[in-house]
Structures are given as structure tokens and as C-alpha cells.
Amino acid sequence: MENRLPISVCLISGAESARIGNALASVVDWTSEIVVVLNEDVADGTDSIAARYGAKVFREPWKGHIAQKNSAVQKATQDWVLGLDTDEVVSPELQAEIARVFACRSDLERFAGFSFPRLTFFCGRWIRHGDWYPDRGTRLWRRGLAEWGGVNPHDKLLVSGKVRSLQGRLLHFNAASINDQIAKISAYSDDFLANTLERRQRVTRMDLAMRPGWRFVRGYFLRGGFLDGWQGYYIAWMTAFYTATRYARVKEMQMRTEKLSPSNPL
């Protein structure tokens, strides 16, 4: 395709042979470069699929979401970078909007980055309310003016400059089933536990008593999760359970570290 946009698409990936093809197919025809940093132990053919789409594939040991994503960005050569996950697809509407932005050079030069909403498909339904939408994030930025930061696994792009909001949606296919979604809770709580202990943050009984309930109320009632049917109801409870699990795991580790005995209750 002629007149490709000066964009490097950067992804990190584990064993994602079932999903990475859809992500790459949504960008291969209109961007100039695709960079994939693949976990060194992956052996399911993800690398071959990425190569078929012309991606530059680099194998590296897992360093955590933030470090891995920054490593991928460091390998980009184009003026602009689009951060994409293997379970995401750039919608035709978002692609067209990005093309219009790049067609206006005077407008493009005013911004360091662009944000857009992410729309998630879960259990047969697009989730349009609650804690999962609009889930807006900055994913397109001028190379050299941003880096990934935040707390693993919830990375956040830190941009030096003005960010413009786009309306086209990034489509998110994060879990094929409830079982897949539940499996993520353990892995994500591992990261939360490590980060919390590293910061030496204390977890109290108030955290355990209030935070999970607040997450359900906020997601289901205040942010309209009830409008997403039974899926919205489940997402709100799942988020509350995940919140309870991660804080309970920190409390459990604190007890082990402090060697509390049955005679020394909480």
C-alpha cells in the first residue's frame, strides 16, 4: 500500500498464536513498521505468524510489562509509535481518523500524542459502561516524547506534551471465556503483591472492608454497568473479587513476614 503512515507499531507478546494475527492484520496495510518483542520461551508459532505480517521479531526474557514495552519502543525507527496489545484490533473508524490527523501536518505538529477509547468484547457482548468503558488511553505518540510507566501490570504511557483525544475505538478481545478472565486474577495479583511490598505499603482491615464493595458500587451503579446485562453484573462482581484478592494477599504476606501467632490476632 502506498503512502503508509510514518508509524512503528510496537507489541510485546507471549504465546499468542491464536490472537496476534488479528492485531497485526488491522495495522499491516497502513503503517510503516511492526516491532514485536517476544518472550524468549515462546514456542507456539507466534513468531512465524508475526513474521508473515512483516514484523521485526526480537526474543527477550520477560522483564515485566513496563520494561518489556519500553524495550519494544526502543527498537522503533519511525517518527510515531502506536502501542498495541496482541488482543487488540484497530477499528476501521480509528484507522480512518488517524489517517485524517496525519493528513493535516500543521495540526499533527501541535501534539505529542493521541488517546482513544477501548471497547471490550466479553461473553458475546460489547461492554459500553462500567469500569471497562471508555477505558481511554494514550496509545499513539511522537517517538521520544513518551515512555511506559505506572505499576505492573497496569502500565500507563507518560507523555511529555499535549495529547489530543480521538473518538475512533480500539477493539479489545481480552478473554474468550469467564475461565480465561478468572485465570488473569492470580497473575495480576502477583504483580500487585510485589509492587505493594516493594513500596512497603500497609494494607489495613479498612482496605479489605471498603475497597471491594466500593469497586462494585462504582462500576455497577455509578458508571452504569447494570446497562450491560448479566455481563456487566458479573464484571462488577469480578472486579470487586479481584480487589479483595489482591489486598488479602498483601495482608497474608504481611502476617507471614511479621510472624503473627494465633495469640496475636489482627
Residue 264: per-residue pLDDT: 55
Please report, rounded to a whole number, the percentage of residues in the chain having pLDDT higher than 70.
Answer: 96
Residue 176: per-residue pLDDT: 80
Which option is the CATH number for 5-172: 3.40.50.460, 3.30.450.20, 3.30.450.30, 3.90.550.10?
A: 3.90.550.10
Strand order in the sheet with 56-60: 56-60, 31-39, 5-13, 80-83, 137-142, 113-116, 163-165
Could you identify the residue written with the cell 521485526?
Answer: 56
pLDDT bucket at 30, cuts 50 / 70 / 90:
very high
- What residue spans define the domains of the chain? 5-172, 178-257
Please report, rounded to a whole number, the percentage of residues in the chain having pLDDT higher than 90.
Answer: 76
User: How buried is 225 (Cβ within 10 angstroms: 0-12 exposed, 13-18 middle, 19+ buried)?
Assistant: buried
User: What is the overall mean pLDDT for the chain?
Assistant: 93
What's the chain look like in SS3?
A: CCCCEEEEEEEEECCCCCCHHHHHHCCCCCEEEEEEEEECCCCCCHHHHHHHCCCEEEEECCCCHHHHHHHHHHCCCCCEEEECCCCEEECHHHHHHHHHHHHCHHHHCCCCEEEECEEEEECCEEECCHHHCCCCEEEEEECCCEEEEEECCEEEEEECCCEEECCCCEEECCCCCHHHHHHHHHHHHHHHHHHHHHCCCCCCHHHHHHHHHHHHHHHHHHCCHHHHHHHHHHHHHHHHHHHHHHHHHHHHHHHHHHCCCCCCCC
Question: Distance (Å, rounded) from C-alpha 32 to C-alpha 38?
Answer: 20
CA 186 to chain CA mean position, Å: 16
pLDDT in tens, 219-264: 999 999 999 999 999 999 999 999 999 999 888 888 887 765 555 5
pLDDT in tens, 39-52: 999 999 999 999 99
Q: Is the pTM of the predicted complex or chain greater than 0.85?
A: yes
Residue 258: per-residue pLDDT: 74
